[in-house]
């Protein structure tokens, strides 16, 4: 087992949960990525409408993917956390349909787009693993869609923080009831499809109900069961390997 290697490279660690990767495949993944570089806060990684991009693997820090609209509003699609791919789709579709920007100082490794396609010839299993990762990402977007489309602001927010917590826990960045979360109320509003002011009201309500608190970039969940019930949250199935 290549534990060290897996720990050093979050992408490998992630794909490895899906298919058991060989040394050759792990090596290919390593060569695919450039040396990690750091990104300043607020800096855009991928611009909407751009062509011929790179993709990135987020190694540390927080980012968000979003689409901005003509009226100046924006909708945040998701928050990549360490280990997640950024802009994978833009490599395949050749043109990005949304932007990415760093929410905190972050470090990313670039992935060479042209070599990406070549992988499918050289290491087909790796291709399947990447497809699997893309599918997981899409499943998250679907969850997000359901959340916004069919839940009230309160339920929606509860669900959001539970889901985020679960994802962070999978990569060791959250405990059972607490995690660091640098998202401010404006960012949350853009993610939840609410106004920033209403996010504030909702957070207060969650606090007053004794369910959870977001203060100083720290989420603390006081009553997991009640919060899960409110948010209509169901635990994810564990991953089965192929």
Partner DNA sequence: CGACGCTTTGACACAACTCAACAACCGTGG
Partner DNA sequence: CCACGGTTGTTGAGTTGTGTCAAAGCGTCG
Binding-residue total with DNA (CB under 7 A): 18
- CB neighbourhood size of 233 (10 A): 21
Instruction: Give least dist CB 158 to DNA, A.
Output: 12
Instruction: Give least dist CB 144 to its own copies, A.
Output: 6
Interacting positions 158-217 with its own copies (CB under 8 A): 192-193
Binding DNA (rule: CB under 7 A), the pick from 216, 225, 234, 237 is 216
Distance of CA 159 to CAs 69, 117, 164, 225, Å? 25, 36, 9, 12
107's contact among DNA, its own copies, none, with CB below 5 to 8 A by partner kind, is: none
Instruction: Give least dist CB 183 to its own copies, A.
Output: 16
Nearer to DNA, 139 or 197 (CB): 197
The answer to whether 99 and 44 have CB atoms below 8 angstroms apart is yes
d(CA 184, CA 176): 22
Binding DNA (rule: CB under 7 A), the pick from 142, 186, 218, 239 is 186
Kindly state whether residue 146 participates in binding its own copies, applying the rule CB under 8 A: yes
Residue 82 DSSP code = T
Helices (H), ranges, 83-184 = 88-93, 113-122, 124-150, 153-170
Interacting positions 67-96 with its own copies (CB under 8 A): 67, 69-71, 73-75, 77, 88-89, 92-95
List 179's β-bridge partners, or say none. 174, 219
Interacting positions 101-160 with DNA (CB under 7 A): 152-154
Distance of CA 73 to CAs 144, 193, 203, Å? 18, 10, 22
Kindly state whether residue 54 participates in binding its own copies, applying the rule CB under 8 A: no
């Amino acid at each position: 087992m290549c534990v060290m290697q897996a720990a050093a490279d979050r992408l490998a660690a992630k794909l490895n949960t899906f298919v058991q990767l060989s040394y050759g495949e792990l090596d290919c993944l390593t060569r695919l990525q450039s040396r990690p570089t750091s990104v300043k806060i607020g800096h855009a990684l991928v611009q909407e409408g751009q062509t011929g991009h790179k993709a990135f693997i987020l190694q540390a820090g927080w980012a968000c993917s979003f689409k901005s609209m003509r009226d100046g509003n924006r909708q945040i699609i998701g928050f990549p956390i360490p280990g997640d791919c950024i802009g994978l789709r833009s490599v395949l579709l050749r043109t990005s349909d949304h932007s990415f920007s760093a929410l905190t100082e972050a470090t990313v490794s670039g992935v060479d787009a042209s070599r990406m396609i070549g992988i499918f010839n050289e290491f087909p299993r790796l291709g399947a693993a990447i497809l699997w990762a893309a599918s997981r990402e899409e499943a998250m977007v679907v969850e997000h869609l359901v959340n916004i489309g069919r839940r009230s602001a309160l339920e929606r927010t509860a669900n959001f923080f539970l889901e985020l917590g679960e994802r962070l826990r999978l990569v060791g960045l959250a405990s059972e009831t607490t995690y660091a979360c640098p998202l401010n109320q404006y960012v949350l509003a853009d993610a939840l499809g609410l106004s920033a002011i209403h996010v504030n009201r909702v957070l207060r309500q969650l606090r007053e109900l004794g369910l959870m608190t977001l203060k100083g970039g720290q989420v603390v969940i006081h009553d997991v069961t009640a919060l899960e019930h409110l948010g209509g949250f169901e635990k994810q199935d564990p991953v089965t390997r192929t």
